[in-house]
Structure 1
Amino acid sequence: MANLTISVNDEALKKARLRALKQGTSVNAILREYLESYAGVHGRQQQAARRLLELASKSNARRGDKTWTRDDLHERNA
């Protein structure tokens, strides 16, 4: 993987770092993803899957108290 050095306004970088921190990521990761997208390195499907996993990891949704066994999930009606 190559390294890239860019020049950016101090205030813009500060705000970007704070926003990235709130999102649980880094400015480096955001720029890497943007450049990969811009360059067309990954297909739309891979990007959608990555975004879905990112959103799922940030979700507060839970499955509740209900549990199922494998037999329950594969129960057939006779």
Structure 2
Amino acid sequence: MANLTLSIDDKLLQAARVRAVHEGTSVNEICRQAIENYARAANADRLRRFDELMASIDAAQRDVQPVEVPWKNRAEMYEHIIAERHPTLMKRGKGKA
């Protein structure tokens, strides 16, 4: 375990020690728990944002309607795309076969 040195007002530390004794704990344990909660809050926030993003993606996917495409497989799809983007290339390629 790592050690941590803090600068803290003497009166504040004394008040924390008195309260910790009354609660059956230590200032060290209180600080450790506070840092642990602080670190976990960042992870919990990241997880919450991820869950919200996934929920919005799922909701958007439900609204998407299937699209009819003019090709039956990947090869036909590539031919279709090339024909749209480079029509002269497809004409030259078909004449060579």
User: What TM-score do you get using the length of structure 1 for normalisation?
Assistant: 0.51
Matched with 1:20 is 20
Which runs of 5 or more residues in structure 1 are unaligned?
Answer: 45-78
Aligned 1:1-78 pairs, distance under 5 A: 1-40=1-40
3-state SS of 1:40 partner: helix
What number of residue pairs does the alignment pair up? 43
- Distance, in Å, in 1 between the alignment partners of 2:33 and 2:8 is 18
- Distance, in Å, in 1 between the alignment partners of 2:10 and 2:17 is 11
Q: What letter matches 1:31 in structure 2? A: C
Aligned-residue CA RMSD (Å): 2.0
User: What TM-score do you get using the length of structure 2 for normalisation?
Assistant: 0.41
C-alpha deviation, 1:19, in angstroms: 0.2
3-state SS of 1:12 partner: helix
Instruction: Identify which of structures 1 and 2 has the higher relative contact order when contacts are C-alpha pairs closer than 8 Å and 6+ apart.
Output: 1
Alpha-carbon displacement from aligned partner over 1:17-70 (angstroms, at most 9, x marks no partner)? 0000000000000000010110118x98xxxxxxxxxxxxxxxxxxxxxxxxxx
- Distance, in Å, in 2 between the alignment partners of 1:24 and 1:33 is 14
Q: Give 4+ residue runs of structure 1 displaced > 6 Å after superposition.
A: none
Which runs of 5 or more residues in structure 2 are unaligned?
Answer: 45-97
Identical-pair percentage? 51
- Distance, in Å, in 1 between the alignment partners of 2:34 and 2:15 is 17
- Distance, in Å, in 2 between the alignment partners of 1:34 and 1:14 is 18
